[in-house]
């Protein structure tokens, strides 16, 4: 009986959030490994991403873009806390969900990203990243502007060479092929009120336990940048994964899955 109770306690709910231009599909390896270990896994498509209908330029706000995650966390059973996992731009979605529902999150895991910090706008980390990276950081990626000329909507779709050299350089070639077929434009929402105002508070977002998983061979978001952003969040646990490119869930799926399960066992 005791053994069964212990095993039951170790079954966790992981909510996985993709990064820019991607979708729930990029978690297929990690989701399979976690599910095979007996855990509940919810891999989400943000608005106009993955298999979600609509176009990126039609999403009116960062809040609406994050709605699938916000709804999933708000809809958790009263006695359940989830492990939120956000990759790259998905870490910004995590930050908003943590601020809105801090009591529903057991621990938040930020993967290959710059972690936002309480007291600073969510967009700050993204703007700092853009300032510090070289001018050709997006290489052959495609930028588009649409909508009202006085209030244009800007979107970005990652190009094949950018995917190959900056995101997937250590991932299996079949995953790069999948990405080239599946990526969609995304909207960064850098002028959105939720992104530019100080919505993250120490009392709510700051109170949620955080783990930063650094991709040591990330050719997109430098490992040093990932660590520096994490250092602005007191109490954050930082772990590095060697041989991991930006797409950690594809280049090091076993290692990431083990780390996620160990983190859940530690904090729940």
Catalytically active residues, by annotation: 88, 218, 246
Phi-psi region of 30 (alpha: psi -120 to 50; beta: other; left: phi over 0): alpha
∠177-54-72 over CA atoms, to 5°?
90
Q: Are 264 and 107 in contact (CB under 8 A)?
A: yes
Q: Tell me the three state secondary structure of residue 248.
A: helix
Distance of CA 27 to the CA centre of its chain: 11
Distance of CA 219 to the CA centre of its chain: 17
State the Cα–Cα distance between residues 157 and 254, nearest whole angstrom: 28
State the Cα–Cα distance between residues 41 and 96, nearest whole angstrom: 20
């Amino acid at each position: 009986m005791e053994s069964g109770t212990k095993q039951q306690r170790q079954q966790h709910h992981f909510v996985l959030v993709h990064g820019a231009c991607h979708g729930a599909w990029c978690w297929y390896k990690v989701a399979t490994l976690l599910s095979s270990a007996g855990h509940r896994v919810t891999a989400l498509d943000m608005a106009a991403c993955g298999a979600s209908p609509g176009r990126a330029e039609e999403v009116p706000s960062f809040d609406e873009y994050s709605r699938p995650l916000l709804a999933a966390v708000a809809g958790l059973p009263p006695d359940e806390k989830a492990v939120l996992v956000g990759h790259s731009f998905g870490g910004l979605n995590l930050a908003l969900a943590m601020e809105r529902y801090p009591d529903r999150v057991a621990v938040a895991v930020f993967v290959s990203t710059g972690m936002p910090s309480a007291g600073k706008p969510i967009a700050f980390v993204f703007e700092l990243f853009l300032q510090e990276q070289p001018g050709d950081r997006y290489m052959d990626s495609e930028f588009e502007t649409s909508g009202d000329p006085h209030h244009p909507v800007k979107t970005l779709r990652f190009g094949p060479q950018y995917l190959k050299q900056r995101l997937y350089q250590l991932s299996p070639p079949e995953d790069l092929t999948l990405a080239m077929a599946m990526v969609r434009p995304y909207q960064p929402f850098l002028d959105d009120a939720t992104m530019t105002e100080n919505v993250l508070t120490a009392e709510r977002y700051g109170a949620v336990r955080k783990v930063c998983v650094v991709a040591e061979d990330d050719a997109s978001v430098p490992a040093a940048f990932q660590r520096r952003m994490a250092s602005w969040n007191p109490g954050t646990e930082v772990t590095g994964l060697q041989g991991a490119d930006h797409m950690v869930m594809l280049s090091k799926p076993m290692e990431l899955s083990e780390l996620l399960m160990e983190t859940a066992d530690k904090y729940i």
